[in-house]
Amino acid sequence: MTARSIAMTIDQVAVRFGGLVAISDMSFTVGGGEIVSLIGPNGAGKTTAFNVMTGFLTPSAGRVTYQGTTLTGLKPHEIADLGLIRTFQRTSVFPNDTVYDNLLIGLHRQGRVRLLDAILGLPGARASERRLRLRASELLEWVGLERRAHDAAGSLSYGEQRLVGVALALAAEPSMLLLDEPVSGMNASETHRFVELIRSIRDRGITILLVEHDMPMVMTVSDRIVVLNYGRIIAEGTPDVIRNDPAVIEAYLGHGAGRA
Amino acid sequence: MKAIITILAVAALASVPLWLRDPYLLNALITTGIFVIGAMSLNLLLGFTGQLSLGHIAFFGIGAYVSALTSLGFDIGLPGDIRLVHAPWPPIAGFVLAILVAGLCGYFVGLLSFRVRGAYFVIVTISFAEVVRLVALNWVELTQGPLALTNIPSIALPLPGFGELMLRTKMQNYYLVLVVALTAYLLIARLVHSHFGRAMRGLMENETLAVSVGIDVTRTLTIAAVISAAIAGAAGSLYAHYIRIIDPEVFAFINTVTMVIMVISGGKGSLAGPVVGGLIFGLLPVALRPVMAPEAQWIAYGGVLMAILFVLPRGIVPSLALRFARRRSGKTALAPVALPETGVKEPA
């Protein structure tokens, strides 16, 4: 791998909820334009790590920097303004709105016009509105949901809702995208299409950090994998390295597996 | 279709004073109209951001007092032997100040409570209304306390070249209220359909997700609260100059409850909902009065409310819109009904 600029640095981050240690000491970096996966058994601290990176949680120690800016103390919407956008495991859509309107809400960062202009319907506000509608249609096409545009997002299948979630995140014009278990609930062909989507996102220069349980998918798509267990990083490297790492195998299968 | 209904409704409302000559009924319509404006402002918060302001009457009452005091003038002593004297200004200046001061109050209440939201906002708004009521009751030098501010002048519209038009008759006041109500309606409609409206909707539906795409919760809710409070202040000003006497009872909790009933029965989150609900529950007491004993009136009022919510649980306008949409297309159209005015435009 050639040397790249570093997009995100996670520096000795720890998260404790009272006596419970969710993350004990985590340090790694994500290079610009890279696809990095964060994996580990349930409860390893993956989603907690996401919450720290996007400002939903304040770390007990350590810090996260994104493109040179320290994220500690920033609110989630301020972090979003830096171009660091995430998706969610469960709450991925605005259920009562159509898919198309979901994207218009997601385009919030692109559509900021002065309130008075919008109320008076001034040309600037109208032009901005037209741009947003065009962009929403483009995004729908990108993730392949054109046919569902006018259906309520809450009525879509689970797999389609994940796609809406990703489209929403893309609408916010990320420079780095954090995907939290995006293919859970997808069947094999949906997952396959999703991998293509992730690659096409990366091809547009967007850095991707992925949390995922679907190992074949992670192994296919990642440039690099970071393995968490009990809040600590136990391995880091390319898919080939991770596949054969004894510590990883033990974390996933348990050391009792050999004896049983 | 929607445009036709709107135009017909406006035309019907505008024609009322031409055929309705009964001053008692016209009076009922004017006060109802003023409360409908209040209900619309409440709906902006409750229906489009999901925040319940249970002290909403405070903004209305502040608007009423600010407007009355601006046009009556006052002479009060402040700590440190300072006397603050204000000579009477034209009522129209009072109307403008009422909007500004109420909006400012909305800003501070919003700023205080929206960091935590939900139940906290409900409690902060209730307390705010109670504090303001106590001030109005006890700052006798300024507000006359329970003796009420009386002889509040009617609103006079400056007509360049013709002097002033004093709005004294019921018909004139009816049209004044209608114009302000239409303006408020249009303002809210524009707001809700704008980029800002989508931010509000996103927050209401899924706050975590909304924040993650860059929507600033506190800012969005505070702006909504300012606009809502300002509109309520305008309604309060109209009330003061129409009734021409106000006392601290204007801050009574029951007035907020009335507005909440208007919004919920008509359909929160729908633009026309508070208008429909407001007309029904504003005029219902007038309709019941000749035919029932006072105690029975309240029972009937409650009965009507429960019947509406039982038959049309989302409120009148959204429920009927849903039925209409179902009959038309034969399929469930969930999204356009939760917010009937957010019709999806074809992608460009």
A76/B211 touch (CB, cutoff 8 Å), yes or no: yes
Residues B340 and B314: beta-carbon distance below 8 Å: no
Whether B191 and chain A come into contact, CB under 8 Å, resolves to yes
The distance of B188 to chain A (nearest Cα, Å) reads 9
Judge whether residue B279 has pLDDT over 80.
yes
**What is the Cα–Cα distance from B162 to A122, expressed in whole angstroms?**
33
User: Which chain B residues touch A116 with a CB distance below 8 Å?
Assistant: none
With CA atoms as reference, the chain B residue closest to A164 would be: B209
User: Which chain B residues touch A85 with a CB distance below 8 Å?
Assistant: 212-214
With CA atoms as reference, the chain B residue closest to A119 would be: B190
Q: How far apart are the first and last CA of chain B?
A: 22
Judge whether residue B348 has pLDDT over 60.
no
Closest CB from B190, B206, B348 relative to A94? B206
Nearest in space to B273 (alpha carbons), one of B8, B12, B32, B39: B39
Q: Which B residues in the span 303-342 are in contact with A, Cβ-Cβ below 8 Å?
A: 334-335, 338-339, 342
A137/B348 touch (CB, cutoff 8 Å), yes or no: yes
Judge whether residue B7 has pLDDT over 50.
yes
Q: Which residues contact B346 (CB under 8 A, 6 or more apart)?
A: none
Q: Which B residues in the span 42-71 are in contact with A, Cβ-Cβ below 8 Å?
A: none
Q: Which residues contact A141 (CB under 8 A, 6 or more apart)?
A: none
Closest CB from A97, A100, A111 relative to B201? A97
Pick the more confident residue, A158 or B27.
B27
Test mutation, B195, B217, B219, chain A, max A CBs within 10 A: B195
- State the pTM of this model: 0.87
With CA atoms as reference, the chain B residue closest to A54 would be: B212
Residues B102 and B226: beta-carbon distance below 8 Å: no
* Structure-block tokens of residue A76: 């989630």
Question: What confidence score (pLDDT) does residue A254 get?
Answer: 67
Residues B46 and B260: beta-carbon distance below 8 Å: yes
Closest CB from A85, A95, A119 relative to B212? A85
Closest CB from B206, B216, B347 relative to A77? B216
How large is the average pLDDT for residues B133-139?
A: 94
Question: What confidence score (pLDDT) does residue A4 get?
Answer: 64
Question: What confidence score (pLDDT) does residue A230 get?
Answer: 85
User: Which chain B residues touch A125 with a CB distance below 8 Å?
Assistant: 194-195
**What is the Cα–Cα distance from B241 to B151, expressed in whole angstroms?**
9
Residues B109 and B124: beta-carbon distance below 8 Å: yes
How large is the average pLDDT for residues B306-317?
A: 93
* Structure-block tokens of residue B250: 């204007």
How large is the average pLDDT for residues A123-137?
A: 90
What mean pLDDT, rounded, does chain B reach? 89
Confidence of residue A255 (pLDDT cuts 50, 70, 90): low
Residues A162 and B203: beta-carbon distance below 8 Å: no
B201/A118 touch (CB, cutoff 8 Å), yes or no: no
* Structure-block tokens of residue B331: 């399929």
Q: What is the CA radius of gyration of chain B?
A: 21
Instruction: Name the residue type at position B332.
Output: T
For A198-244, the pLDDT digits (tens) are 999 999 999 999 999 888 899 999 999 999 988 889 999 999 999 88
**What is the Cα–Cα distance from A110 to A93, expressed in whole angstroms?**
19
The distance of A249 to chain B (nearest Cα, Å) reads 34
Q: Which of B116-125, B142-151, B221-230, B290-299 has the highest mean pLDDT?
A: B221-230
Question: What confidence score (pLDDT) does residue B339 get?
Answer: 42
Report ipTM for this prediction.
0.86
Beta strands A6-17; A224-229: pairing state: unpaired
A80/B345 touch (CB, cutoff 8 Å), yes or no: no
Q: How many CB pairs under 8 A join A and B?
A: 125
The distance of B325 to chain A (nearest Cα, Å) reads 14
Whether B343 and chain A come into contact, CB under 8 Å, resolves to no
Whether B169 and chain A come into contact, CB under 8 Å, resolves to no
According to DSSP, residue B346 is labeled: P
Nearest in space to B215 (alpha carbons), one of A50, A96, A108: A108
Test mutation, B212, B216, B326, B339, chain A, max A CBs within 10 A: B212
Helices A99-106 & A123-143, crossing angle to 10 degrees? 120
Nearest in space to B253 (alpha carbons), one of B340, B167, B345, B126: B126
According to DSSP, residue A24 is labeled: E
**What is the Cα–Cα distance from A220 to A239, expressed in whole angstroms?**
8
User: Which chain B residues touch A169 with a CB distance below 8 Å?
Assistant: 212-213
B208/A88 touch (CB, cutoff 8 Å), yes or no: yes
User: Which chain B residues touch A129 with a CB distance below 8 Å?
Assistant: 195
